[in-house]
Structure 1
Amino acid sequence: MFWFCNSANCRFSVFALTTIGWILSSTSMGLVEWRIWYMKDTPLYPPGIACVGIFRVCIYQHHTNSTTTKFCYRYSYQDTFLPLEIYMAQRFLLTASMFGFFGRAFNIFALRNMSVKIFEEDTYNSFIVSGIFNIAAGVFILIAVLQNYDAIINSRGITFPPSLQMPFKPDLQEVGTAIQMAGIGALPMLLTGMFSLFYKCPLYCQVHPDISET
């Protein structure tokens, strides 16, 4: 297993898989389809669908003349109505994106050394640091996903401002594609991070002191 993980082909495959996971998780931050709200017609609120994202919410309202209007509201730091799971997900996902970037950087440095057959202690340390960054990023993403998934399963509401014309709880709430994308992206980052921790410095990169005979 260690020999397989130390091969160049495996290392490049691990890097590609981790990059895909990082791209998926980073892309999910910009999507609004984390929580899908279905709202029926009531005297206070018009019918429609709302996509509640981590950084913004988009509302699609259906009118009697068979038209649909779209309105998006971007959250600000002054918004106090955001629930804990969204507030924490903002921090976790941004931190995970930065950790993933640093993980790529250390991985690229280590792969460069391997490609030119430079097996030094720096190469070993770069793989270890890359694995730690990837695992930390995957854990942060997974926490954000699980917190929001739990909020959907338990039908937790959000006290949106009255100007958005949205109820505290929808008639139906379901998991969106963005939360699924983030969850899928977290798995390869965790897996490849653990593979990086398995890196073994080849024997010929280890320094053995010469013992001179006197």
Structure 2
Amino acid sequence: MVLFDKANCLAVSFALNIVGWIFAMVSMGLPNWRTWYIESSPAPSWGLVSVGMWKVCSYQPSGLQTRPIVCHRYTYSDTYLPLHIRFPQHLLLVAFLLSLLGKGLMVLALRRVYMGQLQKDTPGNLFLAPRILSIIAGAFIAIAVLCNYHAVLNEEGIDFPPSFHIPYRPDRQEIGSTVYLAILAALLMLFSGLFTISFQQPPNSQMYPQSPKCKVPSCISLQIHDEQFMEVK
């Protein structure tokens, strides 16, 4: 019973990790990590720009262009991307891969628990690895969020190609709404890793009931007889 209670707690932690992983994937694809307000530049640069980790989208009034929303995806060959974009990109990719590996190990461990395929120290090792991987993945996402916050705080610019019609630095910028989704993803991964119960197979211990003290004369005589037999032996 204790074994399956621990396994059920680990299954809940695994579900939280899955939700955090989904939030992390969604935040990686959304562009609104940084919001740029371009007010002094002439058209078509004037408007709102959402700078993400993998793409940038510009929003202009519908009267200026036939396409009010224009998005451009980044590639690994793009040399204009600064370090405060490339570094979080790699952190998010590594976090995605580590979290994916941790989920595979967790599924394997839970399957062995519920199927009764247990060996000494094996389940503990299987549950320890995904817990560590989840903590590392959550930490990497948190570092990516901090890098983005540092770029906004220092008003860092990006030298986009002229065809993007986006200036190097906006008039003002702020943290985008996608960052909060990434923070939630990091917290869920860290929570599922830090508060996962250390799974250990309970030792096989045999409990022997203690015999009550004898108070009746027959029982006392039997005990005396046993003691005399042991002394003779």
Match of 1:211 in 2: none
Distance 1:109 1:129 in 2: 12
Deviating runs (4+, > 3 A) in structure 1? Answer: 3-6, 43-46, 63-68
Distance in 2, matches of 1:151 and 1:36, equals 12
SS at match of 1:91: helix
Percent identity between the aligned chains? 39
Q: Give how far 1:119 is off.
A: 3.3
Contact 1:18–1:189 (Cα < 8 Å) also in 2: yes
For residues 28 and 40 of structure 1, what CA distance do their matches in structure 2 show?
A: 27
CA RMSD of aligned residues (A): 2.4
Partners of 1:47 and 1:157 in 2: CA distance = 16
Task: Give runs of aligned pairs for residues 1-214 of structure 1, distance below 5 A.
Answer: 7-43=6-42, 46-62=45-61, 64=63, 69-120=68-119, 121-196=121-196, 198-204=197-203
Shift in Å, 1:116: 2.5
Tell me the TM-score normalised to structure 2 length.
Answer: 0.79
The answer as to whether partners of 2:127 and 2:199 remain within 8 angstroms in 1 is no
Give the Cα separation in 2 of the matches to 1:172 and 1:45.
18
Verify the 8 A CA contact 2:28 2:54 in the aligned structure 1: yes
TM-score (norm 1): 0.85
Q: Distance in 1 between matches of 2:181 and 2:65?
A: 32
Deviations 1:133-178 (A, max 9, x none): 1111111111111100111122111111111111121122121122
Per-residue Cα deviation, 1:22-78 (whole angstroms, up to 9, x for no partner)? 110111111111111111142475321111111111111226569762211111222
1:113 positional shift: 1.7
Alpha-carbon contact 2:44-2:64 (below 8 Å) kept:
no
What secondary structure is seen at the aligned counterpart in 2 of 1:62?
A: coil
Q: What is the CA-CA distance between 1:5 and the residue it aligns to?
A: 11
The amino acid of 2:9's aligned partner reads: C
- Unaligned runs of at least 5 residues, structure 2: 206-233
**1:77-114, Cα deviation, whole Å (9 max, x unpaired):** 22222121210111111111111111111111111122
Question: Which has more radius of gyration?
Answer: 2
Structure 1 unmatched ranges of 5 or more: 207-214
